[in-house]
Amino acid sequence: MSEAKTSELSEKRPAGDITRVINDFSIQVATVNGSGSQSANSVLLRSIFQMGVPVSGKNLFPSNIAGLPTWFTIRASRRGFVARKAEIDFGVAVNAQTAREDAMLVRSGGALLAEASLGLAGIRDDISIYEAPLSDIAAEVSSEARLRKLLANMVYVGILAELLGIEMPEVELAIAKQFPNKRKAIELNLKTVRAGLEFATKNLVKTDPFRVERMDRTRDMIIIDGNSAAALGAMFGGCTVVTWYPITPSSSVVEALTEYMARYRIDPETGRATYAIVQAEDELAALGMVIGAGWAGARAMTATSGPGISLMSEFAGLAYFAEIPAVIWDVQRVGPSTGLPTRTSQGDILSTYVLSHGDTKNILLIPATVAECFRFAQEAFNLAERFQAPVFCMSDLDLGMNNWMSEPFEYPEDIPIDRGKVLTREDLERLGGFSRYLDKDGDGIPYRTLPGTAHSAAAYFTRGSGHNEHAHYSERPEDFTALADRLAKKLETARGEVPPPIADNVEGADVGIIAYGTTHHALEECREQLRSERGLRASYLRIRALPFHRAVRDFIASHRRIYVVEQNRDAQMHALLTLEYPALATRLRPVLHYNGIPIDARFITDSILRQEDKGV
């Protein structure tokens, strides 16, 4: 799994040496899915987080409900790197199916905590191996079979707390947070953690270098997954209609939204919902409902993943051509087809940009952080209504389903709810009438009225077939060309209004790097590796939307070699940049990662260095 050639740590010290490694290591817990290790892992993550140490967690789970191997990696990084770390410093082996493999994956000089019954002692001599009868210890806490299975996970939390020096009060707090007002569960889990801890103190002698020590880098920070953040964004963005069809990894967007809305979007006066959430029969219907709702004036959205996007193709073209606002939150997973439903990817960029037959081009927003999920969800509705077009938010499984640290989200004072060019009855009385598809303002964006507007001139006829400025059916060649050109112009206007890219131009940089979405997190780290390991200075541009903002060109123009890093096979963003800037195309070099595992800094660094060395 790890493409790492070398390692920060092993470079510095030979295996075995136990000079302490503080707040800078990865833990990988290997368990069986459906065995309840999730809560144990979150508690572990939270405890470290509460000690002020930057952490990140990645859940590597199977497309299955129970019984298959699953891995959870926690990374503690004093420098605040939250991307996946290719190497495993500390392994926890609980799953018999994969125990030996799991033991082998630990980097030399690392450590392994293993369920005693797996008999992994002595499987390797270049790592510290700790054995513990996890389920026996759990059994002492509870004899109930089902419960014991669950609690066994809490045992390793206790042992790790002891071995790594995680403070018990933080663990207690984390458990309390994990089981909000479930007194009984809290007590039971706590008891188990303590049992684990005691076992460790009594029976284990620490021989590994890893330790957690209190820092102050997480004060006031929150932990949240991207899907929940998107849900919050939608709720504060004034979303009124939500339709969906369940699909991993997007389901939790609407599931979280359903809970938040029920809590915060009931009109206190009437006790009625200021929204409607509907589980559709499939994705065609989900987008159809969003389009009907957007047309009738709702701020409507749906959330889905690759297969859903494909099924939405025809309707997406209708929204584009009939100019109807719609927000589609795509949590990308590995395709094509069903692909790897529980693995991450950035593989829908190109096909979504040109989704549907005929000449179409869509607006795409690409969040990289949970904060951007919150922000872009709100901006998506504004952009959709301003441009009367479908707006696709391209999240991914890594961002959507994993937990991320973040500054608390800010109240959207700066994001007023913008309904775009909607003419009210009063406007119509003033104007006398309007032409639905007339480019009055020269920005390609026409005016619309909402069904139900009480004015005889309000009505117009919407269709996916050819029409003129007055929304009358037309097959006239010149009408069609005019319409097609205005639609293109509208997208030109969008360049200036979508979230601009974020550039970090380094003085006299040797190379430029372009990335987007979750690839961003590995880049922070990659750039430090390039600098520290080779003294290579790299400027960095993070793209946040399509069509490209003008600033993208400037960045490319100002660097001789630009590496475009993304998580798909076909270099999709690289392709779009090539199309947009043919004159600069030869400067662009793809760096591609597409095995379903979140990309890591080491992979990028090595790929870039390999190409730099080739001097290509």
Partner 1 sequence: MPTAADKPRPKPTNRAGLILQDYKGVDSTLCAGCGHDAITSQIIRAFFQYGVEPHRVVKLSGIGCSSKTPAYFLRSAHGFNAVHGRMPSVGTGAILANRHLIAIGVSGDGDTASIGIGQFVHLVRRNVPMIYIMENNGVYGLTKGQFSATADEGSKLKSGVLNDLPPIDCCILAIELGCGYVARSFAGDPKQLVALLEGALAHKGMAFLDVISPCVTFNNHEGSTKSYKHAKETEEPAHEVGFVPFFEQITVDYEEGETRVVEMHDGSRITLKKLDREYNPTVKAEALRAIRAANSGGELLTGLLYVDPSKPDFTELLGMHGRPLATLGTELVRPPRKALDEIMESLK
Report the alpha-carbon distance of residue 304 to residue 60 in Å, rounded.
Answer: 20
Rule CB under 6 A: choose which of 209, 308, 347, 501 binds ligand TPP: 308
Identified binder of its own copies from the candidate list 339, 444, 499, 500, rule CB under 8 A? 339
Distance of alpha carbon 51 from its chain centroid, rounded?
25
d(CA 475, CA 196): 76
**Contact call for residue 492 and its own copies (CB under 8 A):** no
* Residue 196 is a binding residue for ligand TPP (CB under 6 A): no
Report, in Å, the least distance between residue 158 CB and its own copies: 31
DSSP H/E element including 218: none
Report which DSSP code applies to 356. S
Largest Cα separation within the chain, whole Å, is: 87
Pairing assessment for the beta strands 106-115 and 88-93 based on DSSP bridges: parallel
By beta-carbon proximity to ligand TPP, the closer residue of 264 and 461 is 461
Give the amino acid at 6: T
Distance of CA 413 to the CA centre of its chain: 24
**What is the DSSP annotation of 255-301?**
HHHHHHHHHH-B-TTT--BSSEEEE-SSHHHHHHHHHHHHHTT--EE
Site pattern 415..454 for its own copies (x: CB under 8 A): ----------------------------------------
Number of residues lying near partner 1 (CB under 8 A): 88
- In contact, 264 and 443? CB cutoff 8 Å: no
**What is the C-alpha separation between 441 and 304, in angstroms, rounded?**
34
Q: Is 291 one of the binding residues for partner 1 (CB under 8 A)?
A: yes
Residue 286 in contact with partner 1, rule: CB under 8 A: yes
Measured in degrees and rounded to the nearest 5, phi and psi for residue 500 equal -70, 160
Cα–Cα distance, 67 to 342 (Å, whole number): 15
Asked if residue 63 binds its own copies (CB under 8 A), the reply is yes
Pair 140, 195: CB distance under 8 Å = yes
CA angle 333, 334, 339 (to 5 degrees): 115
Residues 327-356 binding ligand TPP (CB under 6 A) are 338
The site partner of 455 among its own copies, ligand TPP, partner 1, none (C-beta below 5 to 8 Å per kind) is partner 1
User: Does the footprint of ligand TPP cover residue 466 (CB under 6 A)?
Assistant: no
**Which of 12, 338, 461, 502 touches its own copies by CB under 8 A?**
338
| CB of 26 or CB of 344, closer to partner 1 | 344
With CB under 5 to 8 Å by kind, the binding choice for 145 among ligand TPP, partner 1, its own copies, none is none
- The Cα–Cα gap between 568 and 593 comes to 6
Local structure of residue 603 (DSSP, 8 states): H
Select the binding partner of residue 586 from its own copies, partner 1, ligand TPP, none (C-beta < 5 to 8 A, by kind).
its own copies
CB of 360 vs ligand TPP, minimal distance in Å: 16
Q: How far is the CB of 318 from ligand TPP (least distance, A)?
A: 11
Q: Toward its own copies, which CB reaches closer, 264 or 473?
A: 473
113 to 172, contacts with ligand TPP by CB under 6 A?
none
Q: Which does 522 bind (CB under 5 to 8 A by kind): partner 1, ligand TPP, its own copies, none?
A: none
Q: Please report whether residue 608 would count as binding ligand TPP according to CB under 6 A.
A: no
Return the one option of its own copies, partner 1, ligand TPP, none that residue 532 interacts with (CB less than 5 to 8 A, by type).
none
Residue closer to its own copies by CB (options 340, 422) is 340
Q: How far is the CB of 470 from partner 1 (least distance, A)?
A: 11
- By beta-carbon proximity to ligand TPP, the closer residue of 294 and 306 is 306
Residue 311 near ligand TPP by CB under 6 A: yes
Cβ(511)–Cβ(538) below 8 Å? yes
Whose structure tokens read 């790790």?
160
Cβ-count burial 408-424 (b if 16+ within 10 Å, e if not) = ebeebeebeeebbbebe
> What is the smallest separation between the CB atom of 317 and its own copies, expressed in angstroms?
4
Which candidate, 447, 449, 439, places its Cα nearest to that of 489? 439
**How much is the CA Rg of the chain, to the nearest whole Å?**
26
What phi, psi does 275 have (nearest 5°)? -155, 170
Q: Is 475 in the site for its own copies (CB under 8 A)?
A: yes
Residue length of the chain: 616
Name the 3-class secondary structure at 96.
coil
Q: Which of 307, 446, 547, 590 binds ligand TPP (CB under 6 A)?
A: 307
376 makes contact with partner 1 (CB under 8 A): no
* Position 52 contacts its own copies (CB under 8 A): no
Question: Of these partners, its own copies, ligand TPP, partner 1, none, which one is at the site of residue 243 (CB under 5 to 8 Å by kind)?
Answer: partner 1
User: What are the beta bridge partners of residue 543?
Assistant: 516
Interface ranges with ligand TPP (CB under 6 A): 245-247, 283, 307-308, 311, 338
